Amino acid sequence: MIVLKKIVFFFSYPIIIIIELINYFLNIKFCEINVSRLGHATIYSEGYLIFKDNFNITEIKNFKIIFYFSKPIANKQIALMIKRKLNIYVPSIFFDYISKTLIYWNKEKFIFDFKYSLKDPKIINKFNELYKKPSFDFTKTEILKAKKQLYDFGIRENDKWICIHNRDSAFLNKKYPNKNWNYHSYRDFSVSDLKEAAEYFTKNGFHVFRMGSIQEQKFNSDNSKIIDYAFSQKKNDLLDIYLLANCAFYFGGESGPSDIAFYFKRPSFGINFPFSYLYMSRPHLSSIFIFKRIRDNNSNKLLNFNDLSHHALSEVIDLNDLKKKNLELLNNSSEQILKFAKEVLLEFQGELIENEKDLENQNKFWDNYYKYNPDNRHLKIHPKVSPGFLRDNLDLID
């Protein structure tokens, strides 16, 4: 197989000659847009457009970029939206072959690195100035179609809904079964832990859509305003995006749906975020959040920041490493999530009250956190821990 691959790429050298000749007259680069994941597709495509319009980037300014999509496409609606703004070349398999040929012959100078993220500090620090609205939007026909589909779920013109989501391993394991995705499992939690919060939101005038492409567990509820959209037969690519783009707010873990909500400038309230990874997962979001703690089962003690350093825990936590050290990652309980949901509703309504002690707790928490993790305090948008959660976890402040 390896020999055959070498033979195929050896006889592909004329492609290199052609590309070299073209670049005497027109500077070109090839770029794959990763549309296999919701967040990657939107966040990086939008970031590229903002950098193109607002920053003097040589490789963007001076090159004709040949964009093509990766395979598979996670959501056809997102792909369609991107096509309206960027010229996408087909067939993807042909341009993927060209890129692999360039890599084989060490001609990476003709490959464009799609690294310009909407979450880049250069954008985040001028977020409202540079990002007034998404570049990718719905057509009038798509809006009418989505509203008609929502009507089938019992949603009327003035009804409000929120989107909730629990990250689990089902999507990646089913889509890409030949790869071990266990290193992502520290973000997982059960949808059943969201039930009490979902019930609370419905009592306060919201419909609740449980999002997800492929999920492990069904969300069982007799409440007609709680919709397990992830397992609905009416689920489709258009509504996947429309629901997140137009929800009152997002409530859930770190995942693709949270990136879509952020992309469409919806408030995003976080639960079960990884304790050691906050500086990467939350700096672009100003909405309050709560996170997982880690317990030492030898001493029955919750780890503080000094303990994290002592145990040499990196940003991405391997659960197998925790187990070897007799450490346990604790998901937010349903009681904690319900308590947080009540805070969320107050913040959403502009009524969340923080006293001087709460503000002091917040500052002390981040002072301690940044002794453990790299400093992102140059960002004007800064993550904010739930005041109530900090009151219940004062060991992280002392």
What is the pLDDT averaged over residues 259-281? 87
Residue 216, Cβ density class (10 Å: 0-12 exposed, 13-18 middle, ≥19 buried): middle
Of 383, 219, 195, 364, nearest to 291 by C-alpha is 383
The separation between CA 155 and the C-alpha centre of its own chain, rounded to angstroms, equals 26
Q: Is it the case that residue 274 has pLDDT exceeding 90?
A: no
Structure tokens at 257: 């749906």
Confidence of residue 178 (pLDDT cuts 50, 70, 90): low
Q: Is it the case that residue 181 has pLDDT exceeding 80?
A: no
Q: CA angle, 98 as apex, 92 and 99 as ends, to 5°?
A: 90
What is the pLDDT averaged over residues 370-386? 76
> In the prediction, which pLDDT does 217 show?
83
> In the prediction, which pLDDT does 376 show?
62
> In the prediction, which pLDDT does 170 show?
53
Confidence of residue 275 (pLDDT cuts 50, 70, 90): confident
Spell out the domains of the chain, with CATH numbers in brackets. 2-115 (no CATH), 140-396 (3.40.50.2000)
Q: What is the dihedral of CA 342, 348, 351, 354, to 10 degrees?
A: 70
- Rounded to the nearest 5 percent, the helix, strand and coil shares of the chain are 50, 15, 40
What is the pLDDT averaged over residues 267-273? 93
> In the prediction, which pLDDT does 387 show?
97
> In the prediction, which pLDDT does 379 show?
74
Q: Output DSSP code: residue 111.
A: B
C-alpha span between 333 and 189 (Å, rounded): 10
* Total residue length of the chain: 398
Q: Output DSSP code: residue 37.
A: S
Lowest-confidence segment of 2-16, 210-224, 336-350 by average pLDDT: 2-16
Of 325, 332, 280, nearest to 307 by C-alpha is 325
C-alpha span between 384 and 124 (Å, rounded): 15
Which residue type occupies 291? F
What's the pLDDT tens digit per position in 67-78? Answer: 999 999 999 999
What is the pLDDT averaged over residues 285-297? 92
Lowest-confidence segment of 42-46, 124-128, 220-224, 312-316 by average pLDDT: 312-316
Q: Is it the case that residue 161 has pLDDT exceeding 90?
A: yes
> In the prediction, which pLDDT does 176 show?
54
What's the pLDDT tens digit per position in 3-51? Answer: 676 777 777 889 999 999 999 999 999 999 999 988 889 999 999 999 9
Q: Is it the case that residue 95 has pLDDT exceeding 70?
A: yes
11: Cβ–Cβ under 8 A, 6 or more apart, which residues? none
Structure tokens at 110: 């003709």
Of 119, 205, 195, 204, nearest to 164 by C-alpha is 195
What is the pLDDT averaged over residues 362-375? 83
Q: Please give the share of the chain, as a percent, with pLDDT higher than 70.
A: 90
Sole residue written with tokens 């007609």: 224
Q: Is the dihedral of CA 346, 385, 230, 190 positive or negative?
A: negative
Q: Please give the share of the chain, as a percent, with pLDDT higher than 90.
A: 68
**pTM above threshold 0.85:** yes
Q: Is it the case that residue 184 has pLDDT exceeding 60?
A: no
Q: Is the dihedral of CA 380, 385, 391, 396 positive or negative?
A: negative
Q: Is it the case that residue 180 has pLDDT exceeding 60?
A: no
Query: To which H or E segment does residue 57 belong?
Result: none
What's the pLDDT tens digit per position in 116-150? Answer: 999 998 999 899 999 999 999 999 999 999 999 99
Of 277, 274, 280, 244, nearest to 262 by C-alpha is 244
What's the pLDDT tens digit per position in 347-358? Answer: 999 998 899 999
Q: Is it the case that residue 320 has pLDDT exceeding 80?
A: no
Q: Is it the case that residue 105 has pLDDT exceeding 80?
A: yes
Confidence of residue 169 (pLDDT cuts 50, 70, 90): low
> In the prediction, which pLDDT does 3 show?
67
> In the prediction, which pLDDT does 173 show?
46
Confidence of residue 182 (pLDDT cuts 50, 70, 90): low
Q: Is it the case that residue 309 has pLDDT exceeding 90?
A: no
More confident residue, 182 or 189: 189
> In the prediction, which pLDDT does 41 show?
92
C-alpha span between 59 and 72 (Å, rounded): 27
